[in-house]
Chains A and B, each alone.
Chain A
Amino acid sequence: MFERFTSEARVAVASAQRIARDAHANEIRPEHLLAAVLDEGSAARSVLHAVKASAEDVSAELSRQRGRYPDGLDRDDAEALASLGVDLDEVVRRLEQSMGGLGRRRPARSSPRFSAAAKAALERALQEALELRHHRIGTEHVMLALATRGDRIVADTLSAAESPTAT
């Protein structure tokens, strides 16, 4: 599906793979795609400027959101666990106290694959381009796709960056 991607978008996709691998993540998730388009995508950053958000602020918020829970878990998981009476924030706090956190030291996989949500976001990017009658899929389309089809970390990051006062 990458043959219609702009060179910038291809670089961003490769960068998402590297970001996920460096984080020792189990798979490449929308959060890694967002980090990559913020780093590599001038077209994606211009979409943010259009809504008066700065890439730096979004990046900082994304790092904060990504660091909150262990790899592959987000606020949706925290809420699901709360239904069992498990307080994920407390679990994370205690693990940090007793063993300095959970960070993996080696990659879970040598080359992480795209998660279902990341694939859906990339497919949505193609739709965004088609709807705008653009022939190539650029990082701006990936950005738009993430805004509607991202995961919880992406959604929380973008909504916090949109309205910095209402965390």
Chain B
Amino acid sequence: MTTATDLAAAAADADPGTGLRAVRALRRLLDQVEESQVRRARELGWRWQAIADVLGVSRQAVHKKHRRHS
């Protein structure tokens, strides 16, 4: 039975559906981690420019995206 289970798991990993689902999961996770980290940085007094520098985006971009959350 273990072999059958292993084979099934290996087949599932080769399935593009699993890979695409992982992409979707990472994207959703990323959105929420970014929101929480930016909020935390703001609460700790970080300036928008400093946050933008670390994220590697413009100050305008980070401000526009996160202003309402913090």
B49 interface hit (Cβ, 8 Å): no
How many A-B pairs have beta carbons closer than 8 Å: the answer is 55
Task: Give the CA-CA distance A99 to B69 in the complex, in Å.
Answer: 15
Contact A70 B29 (CB under 8 A): yes
Q: Interface size bucket, B side?
A: 20 to 34
A73 interface hit (Cβ, 8 Å): yes
Q: Which residues of B contact A81 (CB under 8 A)?
A: 22, 25-26
Total contacting residues, chain A, CB less than 8 A: 22
B24 interface hit (Cβ, 8 Å): yes
Main secondary structure of the interface of B (DSSP, over half): helix
Contact A102 B22 (CB under 8 A): no
Q: Which residues of B contact A71 (CB under 8 A)?
A: 28, 32
Within 62-113 of A, Cβ neighbours of B (below 8 Å) are at: 70-73, 76-81, 83-84, 86, 88, 91, 95, 99, 102, 104-106
B53 interface hit (Cβ, 8 Å): no
Contact A83 B22 (CB under 8 A): yes
B42 nearest CB across to chain A (Å): 12
Residues of A within 8 A of B (CB): 26, 70-73, 76-81, 83-84, 86, 88, 91, 95, 99, 102, 104-106
Which 4 interchain pairs have the tightest Cβ spacing? Answer: A77-B25, A80-B21, A80-B22, A83-B13
| Contact sample, A vs B, 17 pairs, CB 8 Å cutoff | A26-B28, A70-B29, A73-B28, A77-B21, A77-B25, A80-B18, A80-B25, A81-B26, A83-B13, A83-B18, A86-B22, A95-B33, A102-B32, A102-B33, A102-B35, A104-B32, A106-B68
